[in-house]
Structure 1
Amino acid sequence: MAGVVVVFDFDKTIVDCDSDNWVVDELGFTDIFNQLLPTMPWNSLMDRMMMELHSHGKTIDDIAQVLKRIPIHPRVVPAIKAAHALGCDLRIVSDANVFFIETILEHLGIRECFSEINTNPGYVNEEGRVSILPYHDFSKAPDGCSLCPPNMCKGLIIERIQDSILPEEKKRFIYLGDGSGDYCPSLRLKERDFVMPRKNFPLWDLICKDPLLIKAEIHEWNDGEDQERILLHLINKISNEESAHKKISVDCKLQTIAVAAHEAALPQVLKVHQ
């Protein structure tokens, strides 16, 4: 399905929890995290937590091993592999970070399924610890979005992806998410697109307040089994609609050719009768 772009949030959409909280809690740093939480933005806090982990002797491998144990519904990976096998362009837009996401995706064997990962930079620095930076440097200039956190406006990312696609490609989007940060990009989707909010999560609640603000078709999901079923159904629906459209186009062309051929032959027929 070269005509479909599937955009996934990561935390609580691909994996079944928040990867930041998972690492902090599993390595026993919840108390420090909770003490610092009121004092700084989340993105800055996570960089500080990586510093705390490093100073307390936690290694990169310790973090990686915890990430590899993160809970994920058993139907999510098959759904992603199926969508990729069908030719969909899969992308991630997440407020997690590159190190966490790529470590998990590579462990699951699905990193190659995604053409693009839009998230906060996260890498092992010269000190040998994970360093996490904001996707958008809000210390220099805010993104100006009242709906999103200062370090990342997912709506701007979706607009960039939309603008990168040629009009004649006529690609349709399926957006899957759960959090309040997924509301802004959902508002940027068009009428032929689809949004899949996780039911009873913040994105779902925001959409339910005024569904008419969303131009895209809304399909809620509960868990990974739901996600797989609905996602593949929508991909199949788009495929069938594209096939029908192509058939109509071919039929119209054949009809045009037939009419042109008939009109071209008509003078000869009249001449014979005369």
Structure 2
Amino acid sequence: MSGIIVVFDFDKTIVDCDSDNWVIDGLGFTDLFNQLLPTMPWNTLMDKLMLEMHAQGKTIGEIKEVLHRIPIHPRVIPAIKAAHALGCDLRIVSDANLFFIETILEHLGIKEYFSEINTNPGYVSEEGRLRILPYHDFNKAPHGCALCPPNMCKGLIIERIQDSLSNNGDENKRIIYLGDGSGDYCPSLRLRERDFMMPRKNFPVWDLICRDPLLLKAEIHPWSDGQELEQVLLQLINKITSLDDESSQQFISSDCKMQTLSVTAHEALPKVLPVRS
């Protein structure tokens, strides 16, 4: 193994859209979604929509067919395969759901490249309908993070990964984290000096980081599309493999520095971020 853990978000990072919205739009439930959206949490809403789809005769096979058509940049799969071939431990931390993610990864032929998928539970019930539940049961045990939506704190997941590395004597391993949404900001703050954050440029996590890049200990390496994702990721992997662990220094992209200059000194980060990542 290379001593590198690559953590991917899923929606708008591996695939090029939001998988929940892709299924809702693809099966004709956009109007109902928009009607119910203001009334309940996202995961509760998705579970409700799956119930309604089932009641109207939509099958699991039809849901899979829609997921098989989800857009993905042609360089993302080669990037994943190359990182795996170089010995990286690939994982997913996503606010989508397990059924959608596994269905897409299996269709693309890349599920086997990931050692771990951290996401909201999604499974087919005995009645034959899809159930979607929150990762954290916020009704019983709130995670307590003001930066994250109630159903998932990705920062806690990153901390668990870091703790497991320490417990296994692998604390020298480095993490590369790729994400796009506001939910990816909290885990970016939990990364260490030896780690690397790859925010998708001009997406919510990029905007939040650029308010004050110095809040991050990890190096910041932005990307804009699948081609740049591949280039930056493989360059980082090659860089890490040749780095002396003691000589790692923080890097902040010049683009991010320029954007930071436009933010006034008194502007503070929001205490509560949008629900979806």
Q: Same fold (TM over 0.5)?
A: yes
**Larger deviation: 158-167 or 32-41?**
158-167
Q: Which residue matches 2:229?
A: 227
Q: Which residue matches 2:270?
A: none
TM-score (norm 2): 0.86
Q: Which residue matches 1:48?
A: 48
Deviations 1:25-62 (A, max 9, x none): 01110000000000000011011111111111100000
TM-score (norm 1): 0.87
Residues 261-272 of structure 1 aligned to structure 2 (within 5 Å)? none
Return the alpha-carbon distance in structure 1 between the equivalents of residues 194 and 86 of structure 2: 19
Deviations 1:65-119 (A, max 9, x none): 0000000000000000000111100000000000000000000010010000000
Residues 63-212 of structure 1 aligned to structure 2 (within 5 Å)? 63-166=63-166, 168-169=169-170, 170-212=172-214
Question: What is the total number of aligned residue pairs between the two structures?
Answer: 245
Return the alpha-carbon distance in structure 2 between the equivalents of residues 242 and 60 of structure 1: 50
List gaps (5 residues or longer) in structure 2. Answer: 248-277
**2:151 match: secondary structure:** coil
Shift >2 Å, 4+ stretches: 166-169, 242-245
**1:21 match: secondary structure:** helix
1:61 and 2:71 are equivalent in the alignment: no
CA shift for structure 1 position 63? 0.2
Work out the percentage of aligned pairs sharing the same amino acid: 78
Q: 1:58 to 1:52 in 2, by over 3 A?
A: same
CA RMSD of aligned residues (A): 1.4
**1:165 match: secondary structure:** helix
Return the alpha-carbon distance in structure 2 between the equivalents of residues 242 and 99 of structure 1: 40
- The structure in which a higher percent of residues are helix is 1
Deviations 1:105-162 (A, max 9, x none): 0000100100000000000001101101110000112110000000100000000000
Tell whether the 8 Å contact from 2:182 to 2:204 is kept in structure 1 after alignment: yes
CA shift for structure 1 position 231? 0.2
